[in-house]
Structure 1
Amino acid sequence: MDYYLAIYSSVTLATRVQRQLGYEGENVGMLHTPRSISKGGCSYALRFKKNKLPIVKKVSEQLGIKIKGIYKEIGNDCYKAYEQV
């Protein structure tokens, strides 16, 4: 299964998007942005399946929240890499 990460500049912004997605019946996870793709600071990411990418973008736009980047997760449970899309 392909997973993606949408990066937000703060936990507050990521939480707002995650909460709105929950209201719409979508379940996504939240985590600290992995160090390998973090540009410093305290950014957070939402992790979701590929088919949820359009709704994550739509909800973020509706809330006026900028996505700092979108990455595809590559690898397995032991090793993960990320490719910007």
Structure 2
Amino acid sequence: MVYYLIVCRSLTYAQRTAAMLERAGITAHILRSPRTIDREGCSHSVKVSERNLANALLILNRAGLQPKRVYLIAGDGSYKEVLL
């Protein structure tokens, strides 16, 4: 299965993001952003499946919870930034 990481500016924003998505019926997992994509050193991400990404971004946009960045988790474990 293909997954995406929605990078948030802090743990609090990641928690708000995950809670908002869970309330909308979208499974979301909070994790610390991998070092390869973590530019600031303290960000957290919310992991969602590919089938839920578009709906998740729409929900977050409506709630005013804009992600910093979004990354595709490639099959080889690397990360590719998705331009929104």
Matches within 5 A, 1:19-58: 19-58=19-58
TM-score (norm. length: structure 2): 0.88
Match of 2:9 in 1: 9
Question: 2:71 maps to which residue?
Answer: 71
3-state SS of paired residue (1:5): strand
Q: Which runs of 4+ in 1 moved over 3 A?
A: none
Unaligned segments of structure 1, at least 5 residues: none
Give the percent of matched residue pairs that are identical in Structure 1 and Structure 2: 29
Q: CA RMSD in A?
A: 1.2
Q: Matched residue pairs, number?
A: 82
Q: For each residue in 1:6-47, what CA deviation from the matched residue of structure 2 results, as whole angstroms up to 9, or x when unmatched?
A: 101011111111111111111111100100001023111111
Q: What is the TM-score when the length of structure 1 is the normalising length?
A: 0.87
CA distance in 2, matches of 1:62, 1:72: 22
CA contact 1:17–1:63 (8 Å) conserved in 2 = no
Higher deviation after alignment, 63-72 or 28-37? 63-72
Q: Which runs of 5+ in 2 are unaligned?
A: none
CA displacement, residues 63-85 of structure 1 (integer Å, 9 cap, x when unaligned): 21221111110135xxx210111
SS state of the match for residue 21, structure 2? helix
2-structure distance, mates of 1:55, 1:30: 18
